């Protein structure tokens, strides 16, 4: 379940980029808020995933999920950076 939350957070961060780039200037700051909240929620969910993995004895399972976690983290970094850049460009302020 925590990984499902992490995936949803990633989807939200991906949506923040087009809103940040092309959205009405009155809602772009809301995209920034969504970006920050989704990023924080992602980090919290991944902590839970990693804690759960710590207690699983099946090394193959843990290894496979560790790869998924690392991939999700890389995707989040890219989505976060892209959305942040788009929002900053539209608002003309540094986040």
Count of structural domains, the chain: 1
pLDDT at 26: 87
Task: Write down the pLDDT at residue 69.
Answer: 98
- Nearest-5° Cα angle at 13, 6 to 43: 35
In percent, the amount of the chain with pLDDT more than 70 equals 100
Q: What is the DSSP code (8-state) at residue 92?
A: T
Region of residue 80 (phi > 0: left; psi between -120 and 50: alpha; otherwise: beta): alpha
What pLDDT, on the 0 to 100 scale, is given for residue 31? 96
Under 8 Å between Cβ of 11 and 3: no
Mean pLDDT of the 2-16 span? 98
Residue pair 82/17 in contact (Cβ under 8 Å)? The answer is yes
pTM over cut 0.85: yes
Instruction: Check residue 25 and give its pLDDT.
Output: 82
pLDDT for position 46: 98
pLDDT tens digits, one per residue of 20-54: 999 888 899 999 999 999 999 999 999 999 999 99
- Domain, as residue range, for 52: 2-91
Give the model's pLDDT for residue 64.
Answer: 97
DSSP, res 89: H
């Amino acid at each position: 379940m925590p990984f499902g939350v992490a995936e949803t957070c990633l989807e939200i961060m991906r949506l923040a980029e087009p809103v940040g780039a092309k959205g009405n200037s009155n809602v772009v700051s809301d995209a920034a808020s969504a970006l920050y909240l989704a990023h924080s929620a992602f980090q919290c969910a991944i902590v839970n995933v990693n804690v759960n993995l710590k207690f699983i004895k099946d090394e193959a399972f843990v290894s496979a999920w560790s790869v998924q976690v690392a991939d999700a983290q890389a995707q989040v970094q890219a989505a976060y950076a892209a959305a942040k850049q788009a929002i900053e460009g539209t608002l003309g302020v540094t986040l």
